[in-house]
Structures are given as structure tokens and as C-alpha cells.
Amino acid sequence: MTEFVDGNRITLLTSGAEYFPALEAECDAARHEIHIETYIFEDDVAGRRIAAALKRAAQRGVMTHLLVDGYGSKKLNPGLVAEMQSAGVRFLVYRPDISPWTFQRQRLRRMHRKLAVIDARIAFVGGINIIDDMHTPGHTPPRFDYAVRIEGPLLKNIHPVVKKLWALVEFTQFGRDWHHRTSLQADGKPRGNQRAAFLVRDNLRHRSDIEEAYLAAIAGARSEILIASSYFFPGLSFRRALMEAAARGVRVMLLLQGKVEYVLLHYASRALYGAFLDAGIEIHEYRKSFLHAKVAVIDRRWATVGSSNIDPLSLLLAREANVVIDDREFAAVLRHSLAVAMEAGAHQVRREGWKDQPLSERSAMWLCYGLARVLTGISAYGRAREFT
């Protein structure tokens, strides 16, 4: 059950052009503590900008924490890390052992979430890594993504989560500075009038919280479902929920990645198109630039923004974080942004044309689909059967 909290003020931020200035400004305003978690931290314009803000904060005595993923940030310049550490920034790597010579399930359990909490009074949640929007190798920039800025009582749910993961990673990497702790408590004062919930996915108590929130909202949908997902390979329950919604007259629209990034997942996802189109679901492939968004709007009221894709890695393996907002005004802003993106940069896949694809194309899709099912079954467990 999604637990909503009243009294929040939540602002939508579109891509790094809006996110990085907001994050930098809050880091510069910090007085006590900064926590940033990110899958990718790149040594580029954006990375240097945020690194500089973190260094400035640490140098004026703010307890500054940066946690990156060992796979997503495996190419992070050690020199940039050393610069931050010398300024007093505390730096940790989540699962740094990524040897290519061993195949273990644990290697796929990445920290994919993107969170920032400043002074336990401001939080940022979304899908935006610390990487320049224009840095999209093999794709047309800029990167298209979202985050939200949060103030209000929801901080009481977000702040302990980032502190807990930092302590866990610190515990597993002996010799860290255990004496550097703060007793800072989250500011739970009402700052607005928006209802919202903070959801995480982990491998213990919250294995399916994000997916269950999606499924509940889809099951209750009465008019419209709009989902934007950069990587979309849902399990059986998710696919059936969307098809059942379409069957009862709900308009279901999917905004998906139209450009090839990961060949296997791209073609495996497209193998599902026929069934979706037959069910009356609209598919729009975003081709203008690099789609990295993981958001949804349902019945123009329920909305979610976060790091979780609708694929096996996000739903079965990775640490993810999403915010669900129950607010018509916020939903209208996000829906409008998605509608503009669909109109300006997406191509709608039509059922009649899809059926006429050449045999070579269809064969590639089903080959990738079969391989993706096998790999999901090997790499995950428990609910992995939904994807296999």
C-alpha cells in the first residue's frame, strides 16, 4: 500500500538544464549536511559543476557525502575524486567489485537511484545522473529526463533512506570515518498542499513496492494511462494490466526509446509491440534525442517520477527510488511536457505497418526476446518467472 503524505511542495525539473542549477544552488545554500546518490557521476561539464559545489560546501564545514555506483561510475576520473576528497567530501562506491571475469548475480544488483538530500529540508528525486545532457555517445543530444525538487513532510521518509544506505556501504568498507555522524532530523513542516509518497526498491523489504504502485494505479485507471520509459520490458502482470486497462476503454499510451542503445533490450522490447498494438495500446517511439525518462501520468492526477525503468533490472535487481504524486496540478504539468515531447519528437507505431515488417526484422526481435528471457531467469530469482 502506497502511503501518501500531505503538505508537500513538489516542483518538476526537466532534464539537466533545470536540475543541475537547482542542485548546485541548494548545495551552495547548505549549512549542515549533503547526501548525493547517483548511478553515474561523469567527469564532464555537469560533473565538474556539481563537484565544485560539493567542494565548496565541504570547505565551509558542511558534512558532504557522495555515493556512486561501482558499475555506472566505473570510469570516473580518480583525479576528480581526489580533488573532492582533499576538500573534505566523503566519497563511497556502491559495490566497487565489477570484475568482468566472474558472473555473479550480485554484480547486477546496482544502485541505480538518483537522490540528493540537503540539510534534511530539500530533496531531489528522479532519473537524472550527474552527467552532461549533451554527452550522449551514439545519440542525438540533449538527454530527455526528469527529476523533482521536494520540500515538506515527505523529507521524513527520504532522509533516513539516504543515511541508512550510506551507513550500510560504510559498514561493508572497513576503515571509513565512523566518527563523522550528524544528528540532523528532517524538517517535516508543511510547505505546500501536495500529497506524495516516496517509494524504494531493494532486495529485502521493498522488492516490489514501485511495481505494485504502478499496478494499483493502472488497475484503477478510468480514462488515460501515459507511461514514458527509456527501457521497457515489462513482466506478465504489467503487460496484462495495461491490456486489461485498454480493454475497458482506457486510453493507454507508451512513450518509448526509438533509438538503439542496448541492442538486446531494444529488440526484445519491440517483440512485445504486436500484442500491445492488437490490444489497442498506443506506442510512440521518441526519436528526436536520447530518451532517459522514467515517469507516468494516470487519469491526469496520479503521477510518478523516479529512477525505475519498467524492465527486469529495475524491477528485480537494482536499488531504485520513485516519488508518486497525487495532485492534478503537478500531473497536468508533467503530462503537458510529455505531450509536447510526443508531438515534437516521437513517431507513432501503427498496427497496420507493424504487421508488414520483413522476416529478418521479426526474427531478430524474437531471437532477442528469447535470449532476454533466458538471461533474466539466470540473473534473477523469485518473481523473475514473470519475465520468463
Q: Which residues are catalytic?
A: 112, 114, 119, 292, 294, 299
CA distances from 369 to 76, 79, 187, 255, 387 (A): 33, 41, 47, 20, 10
CA separation for the pair 167, 178 (Å, rounded): 9
User: In the numeric block, which cell numbers belong to residue 220?
Assistant: 484503477
**Contact (CB, 8 A) for 155 and 188:** yes
Q: Which residue has the cell 549542515?
A: 32
CA 320 centroid distance within chain = 6
Supply the Cα-derived Rg of the chain in whole angstroms: 21
